Structure 1
Amino acid sequence: MKKILLTTLLVVGFQQIEAQTTRKDTLQGGLREERTCYDVLRYNLDLTINPSEKSIKGFNEIVFKIDDATSKIQVDLFENMQIESIVWNTKKLNYKREFDAVFIEFPEELKKGTIQSIQFNYSGKPKIAKNAPWDGGFVFKKDTKGNPWIGVAVQGTGASLWYPCKDSQTDEPDNGASIKVAVPNGLMNVSNGRFMGSTDLKDGYTRWDWEVKNPINNYDITVNVADYVHIHDHHQGLDLDYYVLRENEEKAKKHFDNDVKPMMDCFQSKFGKYPFWEDGYKLVETPYLGMEHQSAVAYGNKYKKGYMGYDISGTGAGLFFDYITIHETGHEWFGNSITSKDIADMWIHEGFTTYTETVFIECIKGYEEAQKYINGQSKSVSNDKPIIGQFGVNREGSGDMYYKGALMLNTIRHIINDDSKWWKLLYSYSETFKKQIIDTKTVLDYFNKETGLDLSKVFEQYLTTTQIPKLKLSKEGKKLSYQWINCVNNFNMPVDIFIKGTETRIYPTTTLQELKVDKKIKIEEIEVATKQFFIKVEK
């Protein structure tokens, strides 16, 4: 488990009224004694995947430390999967199932501070995704030569869809994981971390062994099965490995080389050293679009620039790079290294990672193209519900966590109004909370401390409401009046305006304020920096 920074919510306003929740929701998303009493140290997965049956069978050895003496723990596994047995010290344990939660009972109290392990044996046909990665599950497809091509993506749905674990972002195995997967001969399995070797099991299957040294999110653990070709490269000491369908080998060599090395240079200069150096960096071709599987990034963008060849910003700037390579790798810093303790705070993953796209454009094309790109994303903001979701019930907030989250960060950059401070802030944030589990208040407190500004109302406005703040301007004679409307109580945020091309910073609040200007200036001649600040203007 990464160190958890437990903090209270930012403000009472962060608690939103949500749709009715069920017992199943709270079992999956909540923290109760049966979960908090133990700390996962390691997962040792050993599985066989049968492509023709679309089934899996095997076990997960869960190694854990007892934080509070207990005789009962909760481990999670989707209810459609069968439990063969749960073994502790050679003894089969009793258990009770309630929805996707498995409450395991020990014959004696486990003492605080002791290291324990159970072998959770199971089998079944895991849920198949209808439209991965947007809904969770396995993907069973075939390549153009008819070979099985299998992947899995479970973010949001839960990793317990396919293997038993403590299915909560509050806990990750301190000591990493081993992932051993047997697949039919002629196929390869690629999982997270370093390849440790393969073994012919003499039964028509070959087992592929992988080792993860770093803590890892449950939903990041993955399997990828196909007739893969391995391409190895390196950059400034970092191993770069690509596993692609045999038919795409030459195409992949050229395509990945164009983006990956410049991306690594850019991201490491802005966010710090690649967080999972010991585990290397991989792109793995998948039968679905993509997912940020730690050190084994899922890639399904068909070797195109943009998002499947489309510029999501509508500005042309989105075709400078391969969206999946850049976005999903950005998650190695934001989401995989820095993790939110509840998926209600997933903007910590998605807002920052979406902003990494803009950062990459700025690295390769400059500030103007980057600003063009991020402002093009504003058309995709729906303002349907708050970005922050409901805590304790495995429920995310609005999909606006992507574009609106990034636009909020771009706004904060221009509030700071000093790029050297901004880049130093992003770098120090990434390094300070590297491989930790945090929440929104942690982010806010750090940004406030490092900038010397009070950004509380900015975070509250963009994360907890569906309103875009509006700057209301009016002019009479020599008086320019201004104030914020369509905003939270006591909202205050500086903004830049241009009077006949001359930049002036004003500090509006929800109270009407005035500025002396030339009587001859018309209200239409006063421009507002709406490209630097995600706001609306009413004149």
Structure 2
Amino acid sequence: MFKPLLVVLFLSVLSFNSFGQLLQGDKASFTEQDTLRGSITPEREWWDLKYYHLSIEVLSESKSIIGTNKVEYTVLSPFQVMQIDLQQPMEITKVLQDDKELKFIRNGNAFFITLDKQQNVGEVNSIVIYYNGQPREAVNAPWDGGFTWNKDTNGNDFIATSCQGLGASVWWPVKDHMYDEPDSMMISVEVPNLLMDVSNGQLLKVEKNRKKKTKTYHWFVDNPINNYGVNVNIGDYAHFSNKYDGEKGELSLEYYVLKPNLEKAKKQFQQTKEMLEAFEHWFGPYPFYEDGFKLVEVPYLGMEHQSSVTYGNKFQNGYLGKDLSGTGWGLKFDFIIVHEAGHEWFANNITDKDIADMWIHESFTSYSECLFVEYFYGKEAGQEYVRGTRRSIQNDKPIIGIYGVNAEGSGDMYYKGSNMLNMIRQITNDDDKWLSTLRGLNKDFYHQTVETTQIENYLITHLGFDAEPIFDQYLRTSQVPILEYKIAKNRLSYRFTSAISTFKMPVDMVLGEKVERMDVTTEWKSVELKEDIQEIKVNPNYYIGIMKMQ
């Protein structure tokens, strides 16, 4: 999933041919199903989601599930049709309200339920949805998503869900849009006696079903939770735990791994406390103290499921033993523990309303890797790490996707986004302000769904400079600005090219022995040099190209 950088920085001559178009000019075609999934339809907007109780039995022999989902909601405006999403080949078999069966129709992956009871503004009502089927099987989890049906080395079932992007409706009936989250949730999962289910939140009880020789694990989530953050993990798990003394008090840390891996996990998972120490420093308190924090071994690489972070990095540092930055710093920590847990702040606490804004999740969380390194090894180490990740940037299309059709943007939302943030920090040139802004984001948008403009405006206001042209350039186009310059008769001329016409940015230029901050736009500017200089350099934390003109 990672490819080499297409742009070589800080060369005297730069060849650059990635002339991306503004996001608004993207002419990709979308279907009715894309709109039903990705937009706030009339059948969604009239009701506010309050609570789910998802109750399922997982049948591994047939790779199927059967269950119910109770949906509680508040009526915001009078309307009699509700949209619930469930992807094919899963089927809704019955819907009840007040024990009365309701009529519904299906349009692809969207079900439209006609409510007989008058829906009055302010009322809290509920429906119960019955469903079953064989959910889509993940081929390459977590990137394609669905159910992963696997076996451990002892032949026991080893099963897990993952569904970011694809959507929670791949395996359960849900209001499958990011803008609305339940305030709390119950998850009940029935599994064979010898196995265990681990889901989100706190384990309330384990119910024995003696006739069926099964157990039902009941988990309660005491905070708002995004749809794709809900998960089921089933295996022959060993469990151990400890506590973390954090900013909001004592936090329970729970770990679930396959039994043969217990001793390796006890050693590797000690990094959990280091992660929490670093991220509570940078971002503020862990956002889900009531639900605890879990690391759960799964048969795929890992995912940021809220309070139930899944792990498959084979108990080693790096990304499957590799340093994604190529600097050596990436082998100082377990990538999955740090990156996926970083999403507790950016993705699970602060959640995008539309998947087109997924950069809010991935850019900040990728940047958190750099901050983790900085916290333990110093600022220059962290910045060396983030600069090293440029090797993965593609500059293929805009980072922000298309709104209203469940379309995410470029994978550059990871490391181009994190380099953009590191550059904004360089421009801010005030680490105390930068720290307070990162912590302020998680405080002021606590447990909220947000849009890109809210995050942009927050950063602009709290950092104290106009970063709007930077966001427009780096998020909404695929172009990397090139700083063109020429020197003639002790006069330096400079401008940006490969940039939108309104692009401007202060740049720290190294001129001989001095560092000068220049306000650079797309128009030529010039300044007299006080000494004989033939080349300029730029602070390496700027993600730009440089071209010397003859």
The answer to whether TM tops 0.5 is yes
The answer to whether residue 265 in structure 2 is matched with residue 256 in structure 1 is no
Specify the alignment match of 2:3 in structure 1.
none
The structural deviation recorded for 1:108 is 3.7
Distance in 2 between residues matched to 1:116 and 1:520, nearest whole Å: 77
Distance in 1 between residues matched to 2:468 and 2:23, nearest whole Å: 12
Q: Deviations over 1:256-303 (max 9, x none)?
A: 11x111111110011010000000000000001011000000100010
Distance in 2 between residues matched to 1:399 and 1:205, nearest whole Å: 42
- Determine if contact 2:225/2:348 at 8 Å carries over to the other structure: yes
Structure 1 residue corresponding to 2:195, chosen from 187, 194, 197? 187
Distance in 2 between residues matched to 1:30 and 1:269, nearest whole Å: 36
Q: Deviations over 1:491-510 (max 9, x none)?
A: 11011111223211111111
The structural deviation recorded for 1:319 is 0.4
Specify the alignment match of 2:322 in structure 1.
310
- Determine if contact 1:469/1:484 at 8 Å carries over to the other structure: yes
Structure 2 residue corresponding to 1:238, chosen from 228, 247, 251? 251
Specify the alignment match of 1:9 in structure 2.
none
The answer to whether residue 205 in structure 2 is matched with residue 197 in structure 1 is yes
Q: Deviations over 1:229-249 (max 9, x none)?
A: 111111101111100000111
Specify the alignment match of 1:5 in structure 2.
none
The structural deviation recorded for 1:69 is 0.7
Structure 2 residue corresponding to 1:213, chosen from 222, 246, 258? 222
The structural deviation recorded for 1:519 is 4.9
Specify the alignment match of 2:545 in structure 1.
536
The structural deviation recorded for 1:484 is 1.0
The structural deviation recorded for 1:18 is 3.6
Specify the alignment match of 2:488 in structure 1.
476
Specify the alignment match of 2:75 in structure 1.
66
- Determine if contact 1:317/1:373 at 8 Å carries over to the other structure: yes
Specify the alignment match of 1:380 in structure 2.
392
| SS of equivalent residue, structure 2 residue 26 | coil
Specify the alignment match of 1:56 in structure 2.
65
| SS of equivalent residue, structure 2 residue 228 | helix
Opposite residue 528 of structure 1, the aligned amino acid is V
Distance in 2 between residues matched to 1:423 and 1:220, nearest whole Å: 27
Q: Deviations over 1:361-407 (max 9, x none)?
A: 00011111111111111111101110000111011010000011101
The structural deviation recorded for 1:14 is 4.7
Q: Deviations over 1:445-480 (max 9, x none)?
A: 111111221111000000011110111111011211
Distance in 2 between residues matched to 1:244 and 1:290, nearest whole Å: 13
The answer to whether residue 437 in structure 2 is matched with residue 433 in structure 1 is no
Distance in 1 between residues matched to 2:204 and 2:221, nearest whole Å: 10
Specify the alignment match of 1:332 in structure 2.
344
Opposite residue 252 of structure 1, the aligned amino acid is A
| SS of equivalent residue, structure 1 residue 387 | coil
Structure 1 residue corresponding to 2:497, chosen from 485, 493, 516? 485
Identify unmatched segments of 5+ residues in structure 1.
1-11
Distance in 2 between residues matched to 1:107 and 1:521, nearest whole Å: 80
Identify unmatched segments of 5+ residues in structure 2.
1-20
- Determine if contact 2:22/2:398 at 8 Å carries over to the other structure: no
The answer to whether residue 185 in structure 2 is matched with residue 172 in structure 1 is no
Distance in 2 between residues matched to 1:520 and 1:163, nearest whole Å: 69
Structure 2 residue corresponding to 1:30, chosen from 21, 39, 47? 39
Opposite residue 258 of structure 2, the aligned amino acid is L
Structure 1 residue corresponding to 2:121, chosen from 112, 116, 121? 112
Opposite residue 204 of structure 2, the aligned amino acid is M
| SS of equivalent residue, structure 2 residue 58 | strand
- Determine if contact 2:187/2:199 at 8 Å carries over to the other structure: yes
| SS of equivalent residue, structure 1 residue 507 | strand
The answer to whether residue 60 in structure 2 is matched with residue 47 in structure 1 is no
The answer to whether residue 283 in structure 2 is matched with residue 274 in structure 1 is no
Specify the alignment match of 1:153 in structure 2.
162
Distance in 1 between residues matched to 2:532 and 2:88, nearest whole Å: 73
Superposition pairs for residues 69-148 of structure 1, below 5 Å? 69-148=78-157
- Determine if contact 1:78/1:161 at 8 Å carries over to the other structure: yes
| SS of equivalent residue, structure 1 residue 392 | coil
Identical amino acids, percent of aligned pairs: 45
Opposite residue 374 of structure 1, the aligned amino acid is V
| SS of equivalent residue, structure 1 residue 85 | strand
Structure 2 length normalisation: TM-score? 0.94
Distance in 2 between residues matched to 1:322 and 1:108, nearest whole Å: 53
- Determine if contact 1:16/1:389 at 8 Å carries over to the other structure: no
Q: Deviations over 1:100-136 (max 9, x none)?
A: 0000001243111111111100111100011000001
- Determine if contact 1:18/1:390 at 8 Å carries over to the other structure: no
Opposite residue 311 of structure 2, the aligned amino acid is Y
Distance in 1 between residues matched to 2:37 and 2:344, nearest whole Å: 25
Q: Deviations over 1:54-77 (max 9, x none)?
A: 110010001111111111110111
Opposite residue 153 of structure 2, the aligned amino acid is T
| SS of equivalent residue, structure 2 residue 238 | strand
- Determine if contact 1:244/1:285 at 8 Å carries over to the other structure: yes
| SS of equivalent residue, structure 1 residue 407 | helix
Specify the alignment match of 2:507 in structure 1.
495
Q: Deviations over 1:480-535 (max 9, x none)?
A: 11111111112110111112232111111111111111352222xx2111x21111
- Determine if contact 1:148/1:225 at 8 Å carries over to the other structure: yes
Specify the alignment match of 2:525 in structure 1.
513
Opposite residue 364 of structure 1, the aligned amino acid is F
